Chains A and B, each alone.
Chain A
């Protein structure tokens, strides 16, 4: 009984550390993105609040939290609130299956820096990734606004195209590793001494496309399309309710999907031991942040596709490549 209570408490502490850190980093990514966008566009970005504008996210959070609640007339109130929950919960829960480093012993107790080391971790990650689309659909439906409605239907078009490709693109990695467990996949790469991107470069490119599409980043951000839909599905949300959507989709989701990409293709916490016992964590965070940086960089560089082109690229080009990749990988794995 004592040990059960102890382990429950320990899990709660782990959950709080991971989630609150991720949300804090997500909030600070807004500052980073604005700064980066500023320098890409030959501006300075935020400079006023604090040194280098570093206190800007805190000022934004206070401003968003103290705003008045405005719900458009004719809105479906329960669904209107549920959209926020459906957008945030799956994105945050994705962080539960990410292994931040190898397990270690403290006082004769084995501790793993992962919230839930389940053997279906990847399946869970993709299920949660699919669930997060309901946040967009609900918000578009509940707001009683044409802009939000069109935005959410466009998001549906993107999701029906990239769900399938995402499923097929990771099959190659699972074939090589022989497990769904995120810890198992990283250990398989360390054991082989090769990151899976060397064996599966095509799968990584497909995954990258799907990651951008799932998190609504450029060039697949037609559901937001500032110029035509004035940010689309969340146009009728205000205050912290508005803040929840970009936080979930653009920041927490991108962090989580980048971390899963690192697990699948870049060897997880594998890397030279330059910081002693902390180096696995350093390498994991550094690789994840490199991918996040790449995503934000693309966001401020590329134009966006039409909904028509996005679905047709996925079904006519990416899906055949993904299926061929799976079959070829299976044959090669069988021969060797």
Chain B
């Protein structure tokens, strides 16, 4: 039943979002202007028509590390819920688990993977 409630909430949220997305197409003016859809640039003509080119973002390796550490966090979530029941075994296991990943983290740090690539 609680998940059905979540489904109802999803439908209502979708309806609200669709309303916001399309209300201008229903209520707005329809008169077109020849240059109104020109992409924003500070008063000069566009240098290239296609904005989606190559771009240096500087966090490629960090993106890879994110996957690793997010999965680590995802493994720790169920552990945290049952921690009181599994006692010393859970504590030692998690120290070993986090310890191994911490070694990897220190390695990445020393290699400079955490630095923003200039």
How many Å lie between the Cα of A243 and that of B49 in the bound state?
Answer: 26
Cβ distance B22 to chain A, nearest Cβ, rounded Å: 8
For residue B109, which residue of chain A has the nearest CB? Answer: A316
Which listed residue, B10, B80, B81, touches A93 by the CB 8 Å rule?
B10
Task: Evaluate contact between A66 and B27: CB separation under 8 angstroms.
Answer: yes
Task: Evaluate contact between B8 and A8: CB separation under 8 angstroms.
Answer: yes
Task: Evaluate contact between B21 and A81: CB separation under 8 angstroms.
Answer: yes
Q: What is the count of residue pairs linking A and B with beta-carbon distances less than 8 angstroms?
A: 210
Interface residues of B in 1-60 (CB under 8 A from A): 1-6, 8-10, 12-14, 16-18, 20-25, 27-31, 36-41, 49-52, 55, 57-59
Which listed residue, A88, A118, A149, touches B6 by the CB 8 Å rule?
A118
18 contacts across the A-B interface (CB closer than 8 A): A19-B9, A65-B27, A67-B24, A73-B37, A74-B49, A116-B3, A116-B6, A118-B2, A149-B52, A164-B69, A164-B73, A167-B70, A167-B74, A171-B77, A178-B83, A244-B17, A316-B109, A330-B83
Binding site for B on A (CB under 8 A): 7-8, 11-12, 14-16, 19, 23, 65-74, 81, 84-85, 88-89, 92-93, 96, 115-118, 123-124, 141, 143-150, 153, 156-157, 160-161, 163-164, 167-168, 171, 174-175, 178-180, 230, 235-236, 238-241, 243-244, 247, 307-308, 311-312, 315-316, 319-320, 323, 326-327, 330-331, 333-334
Which listed residue, B28, B39, B66, B94, touches A143 by the CB 8 Å rule?
B39
Task: Evaluate contact between B84 and A178: CB separation under 8 angstroms.
Answer: yes
Main secondary structure of the interface of B (DSSP, over half): helix
Task: Evaluate contact between B52 and A16: CB separation under 8 angstroms.
Answer: no
Task: Evaluate contact between A244 and B21: CB separation under 8 angstroms.
Answer: yes
How many Å lie between the Cα of A141 and that of B8 in the bound state?
Answer: 30
Chain A residues within an 8 Å CB radius of B58: 157, 307-308
Cβ distance B61 to chain A, nearest Cβ, rounded Å: 10
Main secondary structure of the interface of A (DSSP, over half): helix
Q: Given A72-B37, A323-B102, A15 and B5 touching (CB < 8 A)?
A: yes
Q: Given A11-B8, A331-B91, A67 and B28 touching (CB < 8 A)?
A: yes
Which listed residue, A153, A243, A247, A327, touches B57 by the CB 8 Å rule?
A153
Binding site for A on B (CB under 8 A): 1-6, 8-10, 12-14, 16-18, 20-25, 27-31, 36-41, 49-52, 55, 57-59, 62-63, 65-66, 69-70, 73-74, 76-77, 80-84, 87-88, 91, 94-95, 98, 102, 105, 109, 114-116
Cβ distance B58 to chain A, nearest Cβ, rounded Å: 7
How many Å lie between the Cα of A247 and that of B19 in the bound state?
Answer: 14
Q: Given A67-B24, A72-B39, A240-B23, A116 and B5 touching (CB < 8 A)?
A: yes
Task: Evaluate contact between B6 and A73: CB separation under 8 angstroms.
Answer: no
Chain A residues within an 8 Å CB radius of B29: 66-68
Q: Given A88-B20, A180-B77, A333-B84, A144 and B52 touching (CB < 8 A)?
A: yes
Chain A residues within an 8 Å CB radius of B16: 19, 23, 88, 92
Cβ distance A238 to chain B, nearest Cβ, rounded Å: 7
Task: Evaluate contact between B28 and A68: CB separation under 8 angstroms.
Answer: yes
Task: Evaluate contact between B51 and A145: CB separation under 8 angstroms.
Answer: yes
Cβ distance B93 to chain A, nearest Cβ, rounded Å: 11
How many Å lie between the Cα of A69 and that of B27 in the bound state?
Answer: 9
Q: Given A23-B16, A65-B23, A84-B17, A323 and B98 touching (CB < 8 A)?
A: yes
Chain A residues within an 8 Å CB radius of B8: 8, 11-12, 15
Task: Evaluate contact between A240 and B76: CB separation under 8 angstroms.
Answer: no
Chain B residues within an 8 Å CB radius of A315: 62, 65, 114
How many Å lie between the Cα of A325 and that of B84 in the bound state?
Answer: 17
How many Å lie between the Cα of A153 and that of B116 in the bound state?
Answer: 14
Cβ distance A141 to chain B, nearest Cβ, rounded Å: 7
3 nearest CB pairs, A to B: A167-B73, A239-B24, A88-B17
Chain B residues within an 8 Å CB radius of A330: 83, 91, 94
How many Å lie between the Cα of A236 and that of B39 in the bound state?
Answer: 7
